[in-house]
Amino acid sequence: MNSKVMSIVIVGGGLVGLTAAASLRRIGHEVTVLEQAPEIRAVGAGISLWPNALREFDRFGIGAEVAAMGREVDAWFFDPAGRAQRPAGYDDSAFRFLFVPRPRLSTVLADAVGRTRITLGARVTGYTETDDKVVAHLDNGASVHADLLIGADGVYSRVRAQLLPDSEARPHVGNFAWRAVVPAGDERPEGTVLTLGPERIRGGYSRITETETMWFISQFGTGTLTGGKRDRALERARHLAEGGWHEDLLRMIAATPEQSILENQIMVVPALPRWTSRRVALIGDAAHGLSPHIAAGGTLGIEDVGVLRNALETTPNLRNALISYEQLRMLRFERVRTLADEVENADGPAESARRYAAFSHWMLTTAPTV
């Protein structure tokens, strides 16, 4: 057991950075979060979190609060004619997760870290590391000294750019996502309804609170985009609603104000040759930003936190702890990438549902239990 208290600077106050800060603080380290934005905010509406992520929240005492703010949902896949696709050979746990409103989750995480440990408007431009310390440099000329620097600064990570030049995030060509939160209406009240359609389009909705529903549409291979965001989403949703199935989804999108719709070109981080150096570690999307079709990037980032925390707790030497973390996570992500690619390249709804179940079943049954 390593009982040395370290000062840890975490670059990025997103989902994974805040989780890391709360978790490492709980085991006694002095944490500082540097977040470039003027406030803690969460891009997006709701996020599905799987049990492997929720276990980490239990560790630092917010598991019950997160469970109470979310809705347990059972994901149901359909083909465009409305036929349910539930692949055989997997139990229900492969389809069940907690759907959580992102802004409320960020608030709870920031409170668990302690607001005084979070510096807002702090944009990190780089770092200097030596054998016995690491210094984060800010764009206002300030610097923050620490024993360990954690890069949790997302797909466009500045920390990764220094650790691994030429590792910039790339557009996942043709992969776009649209989503919005709307007042709950006459759609199915429980569960997630996800239709796997032609033209590599998928989409559906999920209740995120008693009164709100989030709809989402994505496509691989979009080609040229025309029209406004709502038109683009509707054009794709129509492919999911053959023969009247999913009229509710079409109504929901048509009634959404243009400015409420989020549209993203999906960016991905290439597989990296390493995730750490002497006193620096990457976690979350900074290390492994992936296409959201696996609906688990955040969950896997929270797994990173558990593995890093455990390595720091159990390995006396910092460099050895970081090597242990890096080896475990890089190995796991080789498999994540393979299974994610298999889902992406599935041919038709039945195969797509089966490959997704294979991914979620694998993720859950092989998750670290630290």
Ligand X SMILES: Cc1cc2nc3c(=O)[nH]c(=O)nc-3n(C[C@H](O)[C@H](O)[C@H](O)COP(=O)(O)OP(=O)(O)OC[C@H]3O[C@@H](n4cnc5c(N)ncnc54)[C@H](O)[C@@H]3O)c2cc1C
| Residues engaged in binding ligand X (CB under 6 A) | 11-17, 34-37, 47-48, 122-124, 152-154, 158, 177, 264, 284-286, 292, 295-299, 301
Q: Which two tokens stand for residue 29?
A: 């380290």
Residue 277 vs 299, nearer CB to ligand X: 299
Residue 302 vs 311, nearer CB to ligand X: 302
d(C-alpha 79, C-alpha 353), whole Å? 10
Closest contact distance (angstroms) between CB of 274 and ligand X is 18
DSSP, res 269: P
CB atoms within 10 A of CB 267: 18
Q: Judge residue 88's burial from the number of C-beta atoms within 10 Å of its C-beta, 0-12 exposed, 13-18 middle, 19 or more buried.
A: exposed
- The residue whose two tokens read 């079943």 is 361
How far is residue 335 CA from its own chain's centroid?
17
Residue 192 vs 277, nearer CB to ligand X: 192
Residue 194 vs 321, nearer CB to ligand X: 194
Longest dimension (CA), the chain: 66
Q: Contact at 8 Å (CB) between 22 and 111?
A: no
d(C-alpha 121, C-alpha 234), whole Å? 37
d(C-alpha 44, C-alpha 179), whole Å? 8
Residue 3 vs 116, nearer CB to ligand X: 116
Please choose, from the candidates 214, 213, 217, the residue with its C-alpha nearest in 3D space to the C-alpha of residue 229: 217
Closest contact distance (angstroms) between CB of 353 and ligand X is 17
Residue 266 vs 328, nearer CB to ligand X: 266
Closest contact distance (angstroms) between CB of 316 and ligand X is 28
Residue 82 vs 368, nearer CB to ligand X: 368
Q: Closest-CB residue for ligand X?
A: 14
Closest contact distance (angstroms) between CB of 344 and ligand X is 14
Strand partners, 30: 7
Q: Which two tokens stand for residue 105?
A: 């989750």
Closest contact distance (angstroms) between CB of 4 and ligand X is 26
Closest contact distance (angstroms) between CB of 261 and ligand X is 12
Task: Provide the 3-class DSSP secondary structure of residue 207.
Answer: strand
Closest contact distance (angstroms) between CB of 150 and ligand X is 11
